[in-house]
Amino acid sequence: MKNVRIKDLPRSEIMQTQFDLGIFSVGYEPRCIHLAGLLERQNIGHTLVLSYEESAQNDVHRTNQSLFKSMGYTNFVSLKHCEIKLAYQSLIQTMERLENIDGVYKIFIDYSSMSRNWYSAILNYLLNYFKKPIEITMVYSCAEYPLNSGFLDFELGEVKVLPGCQGSSITKKKKASIFMLGFDRIGPLSFYNLLEPDIAYGMISSPGSLPDYEETARTINGQFIQHQLNNGEKLVGSPIFSVAQTFENLCQLIRPIVDKYNVSIVQFGPKPHLLASIIAGLNFQGVSCIYSEYKRNKPHNVKANGEFVMTSISSGL
């Protein structure tokens, strides 16, 4: 990957910037429309809205799509959450429509409700294959999660590797795993038993997006922290509101071991932490990002809480 610069952004800078392209997603979460409703449509040139095929008949999805259309968003692409090829094709076709810019291409991405497959593929293309200077503004709208038994009731699905984050084809003798911890009690232990790493680290939101976020995550992951992370000695706290700091914290874990270990980042944490891990996976040849798809019985009403995590990723400047 080309050298990139990562920095955290204030909200005011986002609202005043003119973007050449804005990329959004539409599904059943009410928060997926939140950012689009705050931005001035005239500040965004071309648009691309990735629409979840799985929830196309959901009433909230339909309402969200109608709201996007009412605000002037017209370029919709329907695809499954795991469909990577169409995500690449849609991005490349949209980028070809942009005017030939002499300076820096400015791209806005709202990844609040976006499939990690989609934004990993988008970043892989923009940072590894797009040949011109680019500044990507990634924005995450924090949410109010219904932390009840229904929300926490899910099954782990198939193990997947994110596009662009497949790691090295060279197999090393030792394995290391970094667990991005969230609200999953069973998943980290399942992956630990699957991977059987020689060394393991954990990362948790500290602070999180809500006052009790860190305490809740520590409680849910208590057994894993105690037994697999040496009672917290190998657990790193990293702020949810700083992707730049989280990326640096990951680099400090990865750099001393990546030459001798195959490193897997196991994704269970909040999306800003996942974004930092994807950038690490794109940046280090020997690092892979893996996850398990969740299988839920029903969709949940995830609303924006008004807080944002805003990140600039620039390349070729």
* Cβ partners under 8 Å of residue 28, min gap 6: 52, 55, 58, 60, 61, 64, 299
Identical fold between 4-145+302-315 and 154-296: yes
Res. 139: pLDDT tops 80: yes
Give 154-296's CATH code, choosing from 3.30.1330.10, 3.40.50.10770, 3.40.50.300, 1.10.357.10. 3.40.50.10770
Residue 70: predicted pLDDT: 96
Residue 306: predicted pLDDT: 79
* Cβ partners under 8 Å of residue 298, min gap 6: 150
Q: How far apart are CA 215 and CA 137, in angstroms?
A: 30
Q: How far apart are CA 251 and CA 213, in angstroms?
A: 24
Contact 121, 298 (CB under 8 A): no
Task: Indicate the average pLDDT of the chain.
Answer: 91
DSSP characters over 94-119: HHHHS---SS-EEEEEE-SS--HHHH
Higher pLDDT, residue 142 or 107: 107
Q: What mean pLDDT do residues 2-29 have?
A: 91
Q: What is the pLDDT of residues 21-78, one digit of tens each?
A: 999 999 988 899 999 999 999 999 999 999 999 999 999 999 999 999 999 999 999 9
Sketch the domain layout of the chain as residue ranges.
4-145+302-315, 154-296
At the top level of CATH, the class of 4-145+302-315 is alpha beta
Q: What is the pLDDT of residues 253-310, one digit of tens each?
A: 999 999 999 999 999 989 999 999 999 999 998 999 999 876 655 656 677 777 899 9
